[in-house]
Amino acid sequence: MNEYTLAITLVVFASFFQGTFGLGMKNIAPLKWEAWWVIQSLVAMIIVPVAWALFVIPDLFEIIQQTENFTLFISAFYGLLWGIGGILFGISVEKTGISITYGIVMGLAASVGCIIPLFQIEGAFAQPSFPIIVCGVVLLLVGVTITAIAGVKRDQLKEQNSTANKSIKIGVLIAVASGILSAFLNVGFIKAGPVAKLAVEAYNTSTQNASLASWVVVLVGGFVMNGGYALFLLIKNNSWSSFKVKNSKKAYFWSVLTGVFWFSALGVYGQGAALMGDLGPVIGWPILLGLALIISNIWAYRAGEWKDAHKPFKILLTGLAVLIGAICLLGYANY
């Protein structure tokens, strides 16, 4: 297997985790949202990233200490911006369901998270693959739009009262904000590139594994926002007793598993993107999220979210077909 094939394989593998972790958000009860979220965030953004990075990079903390302070700050800051989007994502799922939220968030996060890094590359417009990438991103947005329309039409069939419709509209607005902010996770990963570069050049770490050091830095900012917000709610609502509620083992299990799956997606994606070279985050990011959207809808179908919604489901299939075409085009752009 050549390096590019391995890179694409890793990104595809990562998309399974990315498209699956959201299932855990349906298993929050009987815990309070803030209790479940603080556990999930701690596992996803601190425990798993640090443990995995230390396993392959024993000198992780020394590398971080030697990195320029501004690099650490700006990377963590983008992680913090993403953290706001992550909180909004969880709120939107509760209001609109997995399909609509994933459609809007993944589409905006994929396109914005691809375009910003592309324009930061010197001579981006002169890149031979530039027109192909732009076409791929536009096609991706078309596919996501069709998918989101399908989700809205599905919910209109299931929820006819005005209260539900109002809730859906609010959820869509929250998802839009989440999608834009979520793109900064990929930007932060790129900004943390010097951390990975130092690991490779000074500590003989493989390019693939060095990417994990970048995530550790970025996700510190992400946890400050996610964990901090959950802690704020625990104090505000005085919901500490939620940790002791009966029959909560299943909720605890899903909070941990969701955290593991969430960072598994990022960790594996980062390895694949690193192997692709400079255009890795530009090409790999929309492929990751596009495939994740397809996978999330497969899970939604299995969960019965599209039951008795035949016409919207046909629209969904059209959107997924467009997404597959966009992913193939983006994959070809870096071949």
Joined tokens for residue 246: 């009966």
Residue 117 near residue 186 (C-beta atoms within 8 A): yes
What is the pTM (predicted TM-score) of this model? 0.87
Contacts of 160-167 with C-beta under 8 Å, sequence gap 24+, read: 167/95, 167/96
CA 209 to mean position of chain CA atoms: 19
Range in 36-40, 98-102, 260-264 the model is least confident about = 98-102
| pLDDT (average), residues 44-63 | 97
Locus of tokens 């968030």:
105
Q: Residue 220: CA atoms inside 13 Å, Cβ hemisphere, count? A: 14
Residue 295 near residue 106 (C-beta atoms within 8 A): no
Angle at which helix 33-42 crosses helix 249-276, to 10 degrees, equals 40
H or E element at residue 205: none
Q: CB neighbours (10 Å) of residue 101? A: 29
Nearest to 146 by CA among 100, 189, 77: 100
Tell me the torsion sign for CA atoms 19, 22, 26, 29. Answer: positive
Helices (H), the chain: 3-20, 33-42, 48-56, 60-66, 69-96, 98-120, 130-158, 162-182, 184-191, 193-203, 207-237, 249-276, 280-302, 310-333
Q: CB neighbours (10 Å) of residue 201? A: 10
Contacts of 163 (CB under 8 A, 6+ apart): none
Residue with the larger pLDDT of the pair 328 and 228: 228
- Would you state the pLDDT for residue 87? 83
The domain ranges of the chain are: 3-333
Q: What is the DSSP code (8-state) at residue 245?
A: -
Locus of tokens 């979520």:
182
Residue with the larger pLDDT of the pair 326 and 49: 49
Contacts of 267 (CB under 8 A, 6+ apart): 14, 48, 49, 52, 211, 212, 215
Q: What angle do CA 162, 164, 166 make, to 5 degrees?
A: 70
**pLDDT per residue as tens digits for the range 84-119:** 998 888 788 777 776 677 777 877 888 889 888 888
The CA distance from 198 to 95, in Å, is 43
Residue 273 near residue 4 (C-beta atoms within 8 A): no
Confidence of residue 163 (pLDDT cuts 50, 70, 90): very low
Nearest to 100 by CA among 159, 149, 167, 164: 149
Instruction: Please say if the pLDDT value at position 83 is more than 60.
Output: yes
Confidence of residue 159 (pLDDT cuts 50, 70, 90): low
Q: CB neighbours (10 Å) of residue 308? A: 10
Q: CB neighbours (10 Å) of residue 250? A: 12
The CA distance from 20 to 55, in Å, is 25
In the chain, what is the straight-line distance between the N-terminal and C-terminal CA atoms, in Å? Answer: 14
The CA distance from 319 to 244, in Å, is 44
Diameter of the chain by CA atoms? 62
Instruction: Please say if the pLDDT value at position 275 is more than 80.
Output: yes
